[in-house]
Structure 1
Amino acid sequence: MRRRGARRPAAPYGTAHGDIRNLFDEVEKTTGNERRAAFRRLVRLLAVHETAEEEVVHPFTRRSVPDGEKVVEDRLQEEREAKELLSRPDGMDTGDPKFLPELQALRLDVMAHARAEERYEFNHIRRHADKALLASMASAVRVAEAMAPTHPHPGTESAAKNLTLGPIAAVVDRTRDAVRKAMGKDR
């Protein structure tokens, strides 16, 4: 039994949602090369975070949370929409006048999705997983993030698709990132 006021261990997603909020702020507040670099970090974080959730978190929710299938299907629909929104500014120059409105639309969508995950999925995970399982899931999320594609790929919102297509997409994304960096376009 937990002590009164004691906190449950962190869920497997760690502090990614806070990092995402902070990166949105940084992209909005900066300009030029700083904005480009911050946006690249944001795109990468969003892509790897969602992939890890799709590979680790959602399968647990489906198996272990009451009405888990419905909870996951709702999150996957939100993720598909966010990936589609993310693909638009991902191809733009951050100095384009259309960039910030696209970013704002993305931010609203991503933050609504994060709130839904925290409320409808992560709270249930904490109730249905012990401390050891949460730690194991957190480790699995870190591994999945390390191997995930670094750009959005709408239509790959399942563990099976991520495991099948993810490695190929990750190689392509990481190659594209390296070329972009070599050409000085990552800043």
Structure 2
Amino acid sequence: MEQRARRQPRRDRPKSLEEESVADVAIKSQADVIDLLIGQHEKIKSLFEAALAGSGKERESTFRDLRRLLAVHETAEEEIVHPRAKHKVPHGDTVVEARLEEEHEAKKILAELEELDVDSAEFVTKLTKLRQAVIDHAQREEKDEFAKLSTELSGAELERMGRAAELAEAIAPTRPHAGVESQIANVMVGPFASMLDRARDAISGKA
């Protein structure tokens, strides 16, 4: 009787660092979206302080990191949190509309900052103004949206929303990587408006 050839074990291609990171987030994360976004609020505050305290290349690098986190954070809120708040929070449409208007004003200031020398007095003045606007905005979100969503949504749903938000951050690196030319790898390159578009594509799976 002819013996059947022994089947060789499958050897999968090793995951790249980018793929490993995304896989870890998608599978292992149990982050509550509220905890995640509040944590990002604290990181954003720290980046503002570092940018205002620094100068030259250091300030430029910190400002770039700040823009990146703001883009991912605001897009996650707009695509994941605000739609649920509209339906679950009392007077949700009004609450969300007010937050969107605040975000719009912040984006306008960011666009102005992108045109300025980071060491100019005008840059420092506008960055200080943006910092206060973002802090006020974050406080209103935490009070008017996050606190109410945490009581209206199940823990499982909050975790699903958290995984989506974390995945968006994981596939939005701060700079392009050599040899990885996909839109995802370059999602945080260019002006803030472009960052927002690419972060939104990353969340929706279009990247």
- Contact 1:55–1:144 at 8 Å: present in 2 too? no
* TM-fit CA distance, 1:90: 2.0
* Greater RCO (Cα-Cα under 8 Å, separation 6 or more): 1
Q: State which of 56, 72, 78 in structure 2 corresponds to 1:54.
A: 78
* TM-fit CA distance, 1:109: 0.9
Partner of 2:65: 41
Q: Hey, what's the Cα distance between the residues in 1 that align with 2:64 and 2:115?
A: 11
Counterpart AA for 2:81:
V
Q: State which of 119, 133, 141 in structure 2 corresponds to 1:95.
A: 119
- Contact 2:80–2:161 at 8 Å: present in 1 too? yes
* TM-fit CA distance, 1:166: 4.1
Q: Secondary structure at the match of 1:98?
A: helix
Q: Hey, what's the Cα distance between the residues in 2 that align with 1:91 and 1:46?
A: 18
Q: Secondary structure at the match of 1:93?
A: coil
Partner of 1:152: 192
TM-score, normalization: structure 2?
Answer: 0.67
- Contact 2:38–2:142 at 8 Å: present in 1 too? no
**Equivalent residues in 2 for 1:1-187, closer than 5 Å:** 11=34, 12-145=36-169, 146=171, 150=188, 151-153=191-193, 166-167=200-201
Counterpart AA for 1:91:
E
Q: Secondary structure at the match of 2:117?
A: coil
Counterpart AA for 1:86:
L
Counterpart AA for 1:27:
A
Q: Hey, what's the Cα distance between the residues in 1 that align with 2:39 and 2:193?
A: 23
- Contact 2:79–2:200 at 8 Å: present in 1 too? no
Please list the CA deviations of residues 7-52 of structure 1 after superposition, one character each: whole Å capped at 9, or x if unmatched.
xx66152511000000001001111111111010011111111011
Counterpart AA for 1:153:
A
Equivalent residue pairs, number: 153
Q: Hey, what's the Cα distance between the residues in 1 that align with 2:160 and 2:93?
A: 22
Q: Hey, what's the Cα distance between the residues in 2 that align with 1:75 and 1:109?
A: 11
Percent of paired sites with the same residue: 37
Could you tell me which runs of 5 or more consecutive residues in structure 1 were left unpaired when the two chains were aligned.
1-8, 157-161, 169-187
Please list the CA deviations of residues 119-154 of structure 1 after superposition, one character each: whole Å capped at 9, or x if unmatched.
101111111112111111101112334369644339
Q: Secondary structure at the match of 2:75?
A: helix
Counterpart AA for 1:122:
F
- Contact 1:43–1:90 at 8 Å: present in 2 too? no
